[in-house]
Amino acid sequence: MTKAKRAISAWALILAAWTTTDTVITAPALHAFTARNLIYGSTGYDVDELQGRLHLLGYYWGKIDGVFGWKTYWAVRTFQYNFGLPVTGEVDMRTKMMLVKATPNWNYKMDFPDRPSGTSAASPATAASAGQATGTLVSGDGFTHGMDNLSASDLNLMAHVVYGEARGEPFEGQVAVAAVILNRLHDPKFPKSIPAIVYQPGAFDCVNDGQINLQPNREAMQAVIDAVNGWDPTHGALYYFNPAKTSNAWMWAQPELVTIGHHIFTA
């Protein structure tokens, strides 16, 4: 049986599942999704389709290579969050159905890869807790320490900034603030440590008004963990501002990347 026929046969299983739930979807002529769940470490042409659909929606910005890595994982989580699905990072039938509904104009434009479809034994949570292939370690303080050799003090300070700057924002917006701090850490225009970035004059309003001293909650801490583990909803932003509160002409002139909650994130 050819790979294309296998893909069509697998797609028939998904259509059959939709029929049992009385859901009617007009599908493109050819699909690669299979009936299996896709998780971190999965490979195959169905992962190509996943990445392609997420890219079409603006959630995935990596290479469409059929390998379910961390960029794909965080893109899935963001999609699930925005579409009201359980935020697991695992692509189950419900997530596939929502993806197809959201991307009716998607077409499979590349050849099916030669590699076989397969699934790794470790889920993202398992890999992170074991420190496998992620470059991260979960310490006793509950924080995940990543490739930047960040200390518990660094992460705690980041959580204070996230809480001071973005409490009340969507969780994705809190992760975005943490991601901006990390993006600055990797940019030569900024200082080379978390404290120096946070306390750089004029960098963060919460430092100026004292809200950095508020005790962060678990959500702010989790936002830092997710950012350190690679989730960047801003696509590399170095700045952000609240348009309702900012009249700074320089900030308004920066290239806008994405708006999350009340913040515009810029390059």
pLDDT tens string 180-237: 999 999 999 999 999 999 999 999 999 999 999 999 999 999 999 889 888 899 999 9
Domain assignment present for residue 131? The answer is no
- Across all residues in the chain, what is the average pLDDT? 77
Residues 58 and 164 in one domain: no
The percentage of the chain sitting over the pLDDT mark of 90, rounded to a whole number, equals 49
Q: Are 162 and 177 a contacting pair, CB within 8 Å?
A: yes
**Residue-number span of the structural domain to which 225 is assigned:** 152-266
pLDDT of residue 33: 75
Residues 165 and 252 in one domain: yes
> Residue for token digits 């440590």?
193
Residues 99 and 40 in one domain: yes
Residues 181 and 102 in one domain: no
CATH of the domain at 194: 1.10.10.2520
Query: What pTM did the predictor assign?
Result: 0.51
Number of compact structural domains in the chain? 2
Biggest CA pair distance of the chain: 67
Q: Give the C-alpha separation, 196 to 108, whole Å.
A: 47
Alpha helices in the chain (DSSP H): 3-20, 45-57, 70-82, 93-102, 124-130, 152-166, 171-185, 194-198, 205-209, 218-228, 249-253
Other CB atoms closer than 10 Å to residue 262's CB: what's the count? Answer: 16
User: Long-range CB contacts (< 8 A, 24+ apart) of 88-96?
Assistant: 89/39, 89/40, 89/124, 90/37, 90/38, 90/39, 90/123, 91/37, 91/38, 91/39, 91/50, 92/37, 93/14, 93/17, 93/35, 93/37, 96/14, 96/33
